[in-house]
Amino acid sequence: MIKYVIVLLFSINLLHAQANASQTNTKVKVGDVFEIGKPETNKYKYIDFPKANFIIKRGGIANYKRVEGEKVVVTSVKEKKDGSTKIKIKRVDGNRFFGSHSIVSVDFFGAMESGELQTL
């Protein structure tokens, strides 16, 4: 019985170590270039694009499919106390997202895992 408990604890620790290693391997710094991918659903969950009404109010066109494949550069990185990393991105070509917003914030680890943000 004690053997099973020891094997169970060892397995749990090993899985926990693997989960932590996958999160800490990806470091991001200002100047890194990424590509915006396709979201899993109709909306981007981890990239904080503005709602359509705010885009239209500022004179832009709210077409979320046009941002797929756009190359973006990281302008700032903030690590939160809970372990998440918030970054701000802008387009490499200098244009605005949807013609109205120049900088957008992103939950980095969530966006990378979901495929909303991809490395080049």
Confidence of residue 78 (pLDDT cuts 50, 70, 90): very high
Confidence of residue 102 (pLDDT cuts 50, 70, 90): very high
Distance CA 37, CA 31 (A): 19
pLDDT tens-place string over residues 15-55: 776 655 444 446 888 999 999 998 888 889 999 999 989 99
pTM of the entire predicted model? 0.72
**Residue 38 DSSP SS3:** coil
Q: Which residues pair with 36 in a beta bridge?
A: 117
CB 91 within 8 A of CB 70: yes
Handedness of CA 57, 60, 62, 68 (dihedral sign): negative
What was the pLDDT predicted at 17? 64
